[in-house]
Chains A and B, each alone.
Chain A
Amino acid sequence: MTNLFKKDFPILGDDRYIYFDNAATSQRPRQVTEAVRRFNDETNSNPLRGLYQWSVEATDRYEAARHRVAGFIGAKHDEEIIFTRNSTESLNLIAYSWALDNLTEGDRIVITVLEHHSDILPWQMVSKKTGAVLDYIECDEKGGISDGEIEKKIVPGTKLVCCMEVSNVLGCRLPVEKITSRAHNVGAVTVVDAAQSVPHRPVNVRALGADFLVFSGHKLMAPMGIGVLYAKLSLLENMTPFLRGGEMIESVTRYGAVWAPLPQRFEAGTVNAAGAVGLAAAIDYLEDIGFDTVREREEKLVSLLLDGIRSVPHAEFYGSDDPKDHGGIAAFNIKGCHPHDVASILDTENICIRAGHHCAQPLHDHLGLQSTARASVYFYNDESEAERFIEALKKVRGWLGYGD
């Protein structure tokens, strides 16, 4: 596997390090940092406000980024793209600006047990404040969700259905289309958390049946601090603002205000324009490489990781047996070794992995796991790294004092 990509990532230039924590955040190529630098060095000024050339140019680049994102996920209108800080903020925006106003006592909110805490806690809040009931779609021990479970949980009276596209622990893809189509059949609104899918596979809001969709720029090579909320125009038009202040108004009197049109209504205060420009550059970079290449490389790497883990005594991985259904993620445990100890030991070998519950405690509880170690790859990783990782894994029990 020749690696033509590493040269684009200054941080990966140091061969001693193996970065296998891509599900937490990805690395940034020069093309992205360069686009951010150009924005700052050539045209930095407050977009949407100025009447001078730099500000006009800043506004143009910011709005071009919005257009790029809309095209990337198949949104019909640029106004359907709201820039936020990250997935978490996008989900909270939906909770405060849509759910609190539209749910009442006895309504059902249905989510899956695989969700990230960011897609659980806002709904717990909505449930407590409105009296709506929060219910979970369960999964089997490999993360699979049955048709029966979808039908049993998404019943008339369900007003909101939220589901991630790809699990950040097991890497499996959830049956999003089945879930959203069932949700629409009972008249519910759908939220898709695409944080772990957008970096790895083509995402189209209409094909997914997403009324709302969220993702974070930093997981697809954009800077931290820029995220996306997609919302159907018909929903956005009837939502109350999330944050109030500058930029999101048309006019203000002492005791009232007229909101600005979409999308500004939901982007109060000075925006992260450089971040948005970086996100557009990241999308360009990703599409240049192509999702076919991304998928091919990730599948190859994950299959090496899964086979490798199988070959390590006392080790097991979680999720599907099929490397094609792992979203670049291999969660695992080594018997008798706490994941934190595994991560610390691998750190001394300059291998970066994540350990803990990965912000998915309900899933860990459901699977009967206290915590897991997680190696997650992206297209810029390669075979030699996977091999080094497995060699190190074989020695972990020894380093932790076991005789075998």
Chain B
Amino acid sequence: MEIKDIYREIVNEHNLHPSHRGEMENPTKVMAGVNPSCGDKLTLQFRINDDGIIEDAMYTGSGCAVSQASCDMMLDLVIGKTTGEAERLANIFTRMIKGEASPEELEELEESEALEDIAHMPARVKCAVLGWHTMEKLVDGD
């Protein structure tokens, strides 16, 4: 997919009408991430229950449409799942960007699969993975 199509088909909607953007009350875990190439910042707030299930999650920060939309889609996917499952999906996402994920794995990413072709745009890869890397740090050790 050409980048204009990626924007039109998926990125714009999540960027302009995000479902999980904003502050959360009583998060159990908070993690900030920075994209060193542009200085964009993103903060994830997760509420994780005793069973390790992500009950709710939100994000704040400034960034390009790709990083914001990628993060919004990621939260759509992981809310309701365990942190272990979130970690596994983050691993698939990272491998998708490297062109190493199988078609079955890609399906598991649901909407996020649409960012597959970002891999061909090295300048934007860091934007697409910012939320995912930040989440990996957040759930690390859980």
Interface residues of B in 80-139 (CB under 8 A from A): 121, 123-124, 127
Stretch at the interface among A89-97, A192-200, A208-216, A341-349: A341-349
Interface residues of B in 3-44 (CB under 8 A from A): 3-4, 7-8, 11-13, 15-16, 37-40
Per the bound structure, the CA–CA distance linking A402 and B65 in Å amounts to 12
B63 within 8 A of A: yes
B49 within 8 A of A: no
B54 within 8 A of A: no
Distance to closest chain A CB from B102 (angstroms): 28
Does B8 contact A340, Cβ atoms closer than 8 Å? no
* Pick from A341, A347, A370: contact of B65, CB under 8 Å: A341
Residue-wise interface mask of A (344-357) relative to B, using a CB-CB cutoff of 8 A (1 in contact, 0 not)? 11011000000111
Does B38 contact A344, Cβ atoms closer than 8 Å? no
Per the bound structure, the CA–CA distance linking A402 and B12 in Å amounts to 8
Q: Which residues of A contact B123 (CB under 8 A)?
A: 340, 343-344
Does B3 contact A356, Cβ atoms closer than 8 Å? no
Distance to closest chain B CB from A252 (angstroms): 42
A37 within 8 A of B: no
Does B38 contact A400, Cβ atoms closer than 8 Å? no
Query: Given that A399-B7, A401-B8 are known contacts, is A356 also in contact with B64, CB under 8 Å in the complex?
Result: no
Residue-wise interface mask of B (33-75) relative to A, using a CB-CB cutoff of 8 A (1 in contact, 0 not)? 0000111100000000000000000000011111000000000
Q: What is the number of residues of chain B that contact chain A, defined by CB distance less than 8 Å?
A: 23
Interface residues of A in 343-382 (CB under 8 A from B): 343-345, 347-348, 355-357, 361, 370-371
A182 within 8 A of B: no
A338 within 8 A of B: yes
Does A401 contact B13, Cβ atoms closer than 8 Å? yes
Does B66 contact A401, Cβ atoms closer than 8 Å? no
Distance to closest chain A CB from B70 (angstroms): 12
Distance to closest chain A CB from B114 (angstroms): 14
B140 within 8 A of A: no
Does A370 contact B62, Cβ atoms closer than 8 Å? yes
B2 within 8 A of A: yes
Quick one: closest A residue to B124, CB to CB?
A: A344
Quick one: closest A residue to B35, CB to CB?
A: A340
Quick one: closest A residue to B15, CB to CB?
A: A401
Does A401 contact B62, Cβ atoms closer than 8 Å? no
Quick one: closest B residue to A342, CB to CB?
A: B64
Per the bound structure, the CA–CA distance linking A343 and B124 in Å amounts to 11
Distance to closest chain B CB from A382 (angstroms): 26
Residue-wise interface mask of A (330-345) relative to B, using a CB-CB cutoff of 8 A (1 in contact, 0 not)? 0000000111110111
Q: Which residues of B contact A355 (CB under 8 A)?
A: 38
Q: Which residues of A contact B15 (CB under 8 A)?
A: 400-401
Q: Which residues of B contact A345 (CB under 8 A)?
A: 3-4, 7
Does A361 contact B3, Cβ atoms closer than 8 Å? no
Q: Which residues of B contact A371 (CB under 8 A)?
A: 38-40
Per the bound structure, the CA–CA distance linking A400 and B6 in Å amounts to 10
Q: Which residues of A contact B13 (CB under 8 A)?
A: 401
Query: Given that A345-B3, A370-B62, A401-B13 are known contacts, is A340 also in contact with B39, CB under 8 Å in the complex?
Result: no
Does A401 contact B12, Cβ atoms closer than 8 Å? yes
Q: Which residues of A contact B4 (CB under 8 A)?
A: 345, 348, 399
Quick one: closest B residue to A361, CB to CB?
A: B39
Q: Which residues of B contact A356 (CB under 8 A)?
A: 37-39
Distance to closest chain A CB from B40 (angstroms): 8
User: Mind listing 10 A-B residue pairs with CB under 8 Å?
Assistant: A338-B40, A340-B123, A344-B3, A344-B66, A345-B4, A345-B7, A399-B4, A400-B65, A401-B15, A402-B16
Extra A-B contacts (13), CB below 8 Å, given A338-B65, A340-B124, A357-B39: A338-B40, A338-B64, A341-B66, A344-B3, A344-B123, A348-B3, A355-B38, A370-B39, A371-B39, A399-B4, A399-B8, A401-B8, A401-B13
